[in-house]
Amino acid sequence: MTSHNMRLSLAVQTPESPSPVPVALLSGSFPQKVEKARQIGAQGIELMPFDPQALDVAEIRRLVESAQLQVSAIGSGAVPFLGGLTLLNSDPEKARLARQRLKELVQFAHLVGAPLVTIGSFRGRLAGAGIQGEAQLAAILGEAADHAQELQVRLALEPLNHYETDIVQNAGQGLDFIQRVGHPCLGLLLDTYHVNIEECSWTVPFKQAQQAGCLFHIHLSDNNRLAPGFGLIDFSCIVQALYENGYQGFLSAELFPQPDADTAARQTIRHMQALLENLPCN
């Protein structure tokens, strides 16, 4: 008898953030967000810190554990969005600070028991780094993956649509890139929002990444970046493909807090839970 181990997660900001990022869920203080995530029925939360060194790790662990949640991932999106730091930044000082921040994010993931750190907009653009950018990013992520491995953490590179990046825009390019780096702690994060813009199939990218042993994490949002069910994506075929290919990780909602941050979170869990409950032998 087969059963799945896919779990639902909500992306939330951590309390040190100077201002909101546009794709975080749940309202209130950080302890209130954690409690709401539990009440709504999530099994995990993805933390999106801006400056992990400013955070009280013990308090975060206490809150997450007492709500019987897991930290599904450390999302790096707040760092470029709020701080303008990217790994391929054309300003060498910003690029240096970004590499330092990546180390801190990995360390933070280790301390709060998160399995991975996401690398989405945080990588920056080739346009900023010139012709050497791709080799440079491979070297940075290879080195960061060594550090992550020492701390039992992994890195998940996220293909982003062509409006948001000029390096790794779809799953095929993502697989090529990580296979070139060839590090067991560097894999892929597929975000349904970007899949909708860049891919030709709802299921093949997930299947290919999973069959290559590289599908480390998933971000959920509908085509309009609203909660699943508020747009056009057929999440049932995605969930079915994940199930058939044995994906065991988190599906983590990272989307616009509309009509408000709590309703969007509730809608995500309701919509996705119904699909997961329909899978065989659950």
- Residue with structure tokens 């975080």? 24
CB atoms within 10 A of CB 61: 14
Given Mn ion, ligand LER, none, residue 252, with its beta carbon under 5 to 8 Å by kind, binds none
Q: How far is the CB of 281 from ligand LER (least distance, A)?
A: 32
191 binds ligand LER (CB under 6 A): yes
| Interface with ligand LER (CB under 6 A), residue from 158, 199, 222, 262 | 158
Instruction: Looking at residues 172 to 211 of the shown chain, list those that interact with Mn ion (rule: CB under 5 A).
Output: 191
Q: How far is the CB of 274 from ligand LER (least distance, A)?
A: 24
Burial of residue 180 (CB within 10 Å: 0-12, 13-18, 19+) is exposed
Between residues 196 and 267, which has the closer beta carbon with respect to ligand LER? 196
254 binds ligand LER (CB under 6 A): yes
13 binds ligand LER (CB under 6 A): no
* Those residues with Cβ within 8 angstroms of residue 212's Cβ, 6 or more apart along the chain or in another chain: 175, 179
Q: Which of 247, 215, 274, 186 is nearest to 3 (CA)?
A: 247
- Give the binding range for ligand LER (CB under 6 A) out of 99-107, 117-125, 137-145, 147-155: 117-125
The amino acid sitting at 176 is D
Q: How far is the CB of 78 from ligand LER (least distance, A)?
A: 8
199 binds ligand LER (CB under 6 A): no
Q: How far is the CB of 267 from ligand LER (least distance, A)?
A: 19
Between residues 12 and 63, which has the closer beta carbon with respect to Mn ion? 12
Given ligand LER, Mn ion, none, residue 262, with its beta carbon under 5 to 8 Å by kind, binds none
Q: Which of 198, 222, 192, 126 is nearest to 165 (CA)?
A: 126
CB atoms within 10 A of CB 70: 19
- Give the binding range for ligand LER (CB under 6 A) out of 119-127, 166-174, 235-243, 262-270: 119-127
Q: How far is the CB of 79 from ligand LER (least distance, A)?
A: 9
Q: Which of 163, 160, 161 is nearest to 188 (CA)?
A: 160
- Residue with structure tokens 């990013």? 137
Q: How far is the CB of 173 from Mn ion (least distance, A)?
A: 16
Q: How far is the CB of 54 from Mn ion (least distance, A)?
A: 23
CA distances from 188 to 70, 72, 173, 213, 218 (A): 20, 14, 11, 9, 9
User: What is the DSSP secondary-structure string of 183-224?
Assistant: -TTEEEEEEHHHHHHH-S-SSHHHHHHHHTT-EEEEEE--TT
Contact residues: ligand LER, CB under 6 A: 77, 118, 120-122, 158, 160, 164, 191, 219, 254
Q: What residues line the site for Mn ion (CB under 5 A)?
A: 191, 219, 254
